[in-house]
Copies of this chain bind each other. A is one copy, B any other.
Amino acid sequence: MPDYQAPLRDLRFVMDELLDYPAHYARLPGGEEADPEVVAAILEEGGRFAREVLAPLNLSGDQEGCRLEGGEVKAPKGFKEAYRQYVDGGWPGLAADPAHGGQGLPHSLAMALNEMIASANLAWGMYPGLSHGAADALRHHGTDDQKATYLAKLVEGVWTGTMCLTEPHCGTDLGLIKTRAVPTDGDAYEISGTKIFISAGEHDLAENIVHLVLAKLPDAPEGSRGISLFVVPKYLPDEAGRPGERNGVSCGALEHKMGIHGNATCVMNFDGARGFLVGAPHKGLACMFTMMNAARIGVGIQGLGLAETGFQNALTYARDRLQMRSLAGAKAADKPADPIIVHPDVRRMLLTQKAFAEGGRMLVLYTAQLVDVVEQGGDPAERERAETLLGLLTPIVKAFLTETGFEATNEAVQVFGGHGYIQEWGMEQLVRDARITRLYEGTTGIQALDLLGRKILTSQGETLKVFTKEIHKFCQAEQATPGMAEFVRPLAKLNAEWGELTMGVGMKAMNDREEVGAASVDYLMYAGYVTLAYLFARAVRQARAALEAGTGEAAFYRTKIATARFYFERLLPRTRGHRQAIEAGGDSLMAISADDFGLGFEP
């Protein structure tokens, strides 16, 4: 069974040293609670919970899966008890507003913990994970009454939440939804329709489930401008706010999926269920985006978390497994063969995982600071800048970290060889679990359109410039720093090229809108590689400073520099292929008619 240890030392490096979280928290209104000692204690305790409570349930949860019996869903053995411990530990409300019963700690801290939860047990993490999105939507758009009724319960964790968007015929294109909401008495509506792919739609972990549901009012305009958001509880709260009458919403079936077997992915039937409008009529999509942006970053964190778990276990295996001799001569002459970590290609696979995990962690925690500023920051100018950067980075976090997370978990399998394909080792589960992250909350293709089309080109590239300027400044400042040229020079070149590529696509797109879609995924991957290069370059500067200042942990900092060097030499060159693909444009994509695509096999 795979083991997992929270990467506390690396978290400390990224938070305390690289991104100066202590100063960040000190400046954040309300952030003063998060003093370094508190943060360290929370991360340590979270790591313990992830390792000792969640990780041991990961393989068994995958093998057991969920069961639907008489409309009730049973989560795998141990999940309920682990959730109780999670609630008892006060984890659900860590970053929630004290006004709603939360502890008011910064969101970034919760995000660091979410990495650990995803690493240890992704399927379990999806039960509380969706509650945050539901709580966010209610916090931003709910009435005072709705907040009083639902929010405190979600923050406490005794109720969980869902996001009910997708229907059988529409996922990406929510303008097509058919679920209807008909006004009845008072402020209530009757909701009817079928939703699919509802994570944690029904389960036995909490006493009530709060569904946030997209539906159409009778007078709704066509398309996505005619969607409204409703809150639909599984049990209607009674006068005392406790779960009362059973509402007309039920789980019709569980999906049989490739992975995350421990999480209940439900078909939810709404049969005249009683619901309440959240936000203005027909403005549901905007409300939904409140939930979705946080959820997208959450999914990126999942990609990172799985990369880390795969790396840790592949490393252990590579140290233990004896197979063949080093080409340079026996390294463990006393043993029948050398441990496979001596082989350069095994190291390439381990370093790929390590670089994606550590690079992803830097990106997530860099983005997490922006979330803090957007949510709690005091200075409006600073907040506006953070909002812009957060909008830019959200699709990169979501798509790049799930694409690289998938690659990393596959490399973990590859290090294990044939044993990686066997369930008991747990590596193949990571791949199956990681596979969903490239799909849900908007596929990689959707994120790429969001990044290039909606975020960058719509702003005439201004959004991007906020980020490339920051990178440019870093390069300017560090170009003469001893030892930095090796990193700064290629970074500066790529950073300038990023702008040029954007201009190039933008020009082409003025003549032909299809050019945006044609370039988008290669563009997003390019952007991801450059973004990680920037963060690795900063990590090198930090590590060099520590080494120069004298440190008792020289090996840690030297390893960080070596990892960055590997990233620059062996992974960053992939930008060359993406650049050429972007520059090639869309003609070769559009040349074949839908009919002609099948001429090789269709009679």
Q: How far is the CA of A13 from the CA of B13 in the complex (A)?
A: 58
A485 to chain B, nearest CB (A): 16
Q: How far is the CA of A77 from the CA of B274 in the complex (A)?
A: 46
A459 within 8 A of B: no
Q: Are B414 and A444 in contact (CB under 8 A)?
A: yes
A414 in complex: contacting residue of B258, B438, B440, CB < 8 Å = B438
A328 in complex: contacting residue of B422, B435, B514, B594, CB < 8 Å = B514
Which residues 482-518 in A have Cβ within 8 Å of B in the complex? 512-518
Q: Are A173 and B581 in contact (CB under 8 A)?
A: no
A590 in complex: contacting residue of B197, B344, B578, CB < 8 Å = B344
A581 in complex: contacting residue of B169, B512, B570, CB < 8 Å = B570
A574 within 8 A of B: yes
Q: Are A566 and B589 in contact (CB under 8 A)?
A: yes
Q: Are B588 and A580 in contact (CB under 8 A)?
A: no
A171 — which chain B residues lie within 8 A by C-beta? Answer: 323, 417-418
Which residues 196-243 in A have Cβ within 8 Å of B in the complex? 197
A350 — which chain B residues lie within 8 A by C-beta? Answer: 597
Which residues 394-451 in A have Cβ within 8 Å of B in the complex? 406, 410, 413-414, 417-418, 420-424, 428, 431-432, 435-436, 438-440, 443-445, 448-449
A418 in complex: contacting residue of B197, B312, B570, CB < 8 Å = B197
Which residues 314-371 in A have Cβ within 8 Å of B in the complex? 315, 318-319, 322-324, 326-328, 336-337, 339, 341-351, 354, 358
Q: Are A169 and B322 in contact (CB under 8 A)?
A: yes
Q: Are A513 and B197 in contact (CB under 8 A)?
A: no
A36 within 8 A of B: no
A601 — which chain B residues lie within 8 A by C-beta? Answer: 5-10, 308, 312
A584 within 8 A of B: yes
User: Interface with B: A22-30, A127-135, A139-147, A557-565, which one?
Assistant: A557-565
A577 within 8 A of B: yes
Q: Are B326 and A514 in contact (CB under 8 A)?
A: yes
Q: Are B517 and A594 in contact (CB under 8 A)?
A: no
A580 — which chain B residues lie within 8 A by C-beta? Answer: 569, 573, 576
Q: Are B573 and A575 in contact (CB under 8 A)?
A: no
A520 within 8 A of B: yes
Q: How far is the CA of A443 from the CA of B410 in the complex (A)?
A: 13
Q: How far is the CA of A421 from the CA of B434 in the complex (A)?
A: 11
A602 — which chain B residues lie within 8 A by C-beta? Answer: 5
A435 in complex: contacting residue of B348, B417, B428, B521, CB < 8 Å = B428
The digit string for A519-544, where 1 denotes a CB below 8 A from any CB of B, is: 01110000000000000000000000
Question: Across the two chains, which residue of chain B brings its CB closest to A569?
Answer: B584
A99 within 8 A of B: no
A517 in complex: contacting residue of B322, B327, B438, B591, CB < 8 Å = B327
A469 within 8 A of B: no
Q: Are B417 and A443 in contact (CB under 8 A)?
A: yes
Question: Across the two chains, which residue of chain B brings its CB closest to A563?
Answer: B592
Q: Are A417 and B599 in contact (CB under 8 A)?
A: no
A116 to chain B, nearest CB (A): 11
Q: How far is the CA of A576 from the CA of B573 in the complex (A)?
A: 7
Question: Across the two chains, which residue of chain B brings its CB closest to A312?
Answer: B601
A70 within 8 A of B: no
Given contacts A257-B423, A258-B423, A555-B599, contact A337 B173 (CB under 8 A): yes
Q: Are B600 and A358 in contact (CB under 8 A)?
A: yes
A576 to chain B, nearest CB (A): 3
Q: How far is the CA of A379 from the CA of B573 in the complex (A)?
A: 45
A148 within 8 A of B: no
A216 to chain B, nearest CB (A): 13
Q: How far is the CA of A578 from the CA of B596 in the complex (A)?
A: 33
Q: How far is the CA of A563 from the CA of B566 in the complex (A)?
A: 35
A413 in complex: contacting residue of B255, B347, B435, CB < 8 Å = B435
Given contacts A570-B588, A591-B562, contact A431 B435 (CB under 8 A): yes
A246 within 8 A of B: no
Q: Are A521 and B323 in contact (CB under 8 A)?
A: no
A569 in complex: contacting residue of B326, B349, B573, B588, CB < 8 Å = B588
Q: Are A586 and B312 in contact (CB under 8 A)?
A: no
A32 to chain B, nearest CB (A): 28
Q: Are B513 and A327 in contact (CB under 8 A)?
A: yes
Q: Are A422 and B257 in contact (CB under 8 A)?
A: yes
Question: Across the two chains, which residue of chain B brings its CB closest to A564?
Answer: B588
A172 within 8 A of B: yes
A416 to chain B, nearest CB (A): 9
Most buried by B among A349, A520, A570: A570
Q: Are A348 and B589 in contact (CB under 8 A)?
A: yes
Q: Are A517 and B345 in contact (CB under 8 A)?
A: yes
Q: How far is the CA of A264 from the CA of B257 in the complex (A)?
A: 22
17 contacts between A and B (CB under 8 A): A7-B601, A8-B603, A9-B600, A171-B323, A173-B337, A175-B337, A197-B418, A312-B598, A319-B594, A327-B517, A328-B513, A351-B589, A555-B599, A559-B599, A565-B591, A570-B581, A573-B577
A contacts, CB < 8 Å to B: 5-10, 13, 166, 169-173, 175-176, 197, 255-259, 308, 312, 315, 318-319, 322-324, 326-328, 336-337, 339, 341-351, 354, 358, 406, 410, 413-414, 417-418, 420-424, 428, 431-432, 435-436, 438-440, 443-445, 448-449, 453, 512-518, 520-522, 553, 555-556, 558-559, 562-563, 565-566, 569-570, 573-581, 584, 586, 588-594, 596-603
Which 5 pairs from chain A and chain B are nearest by CB?
A576-B576, A573-B580, A10-B600, A344-B517, A258-B428
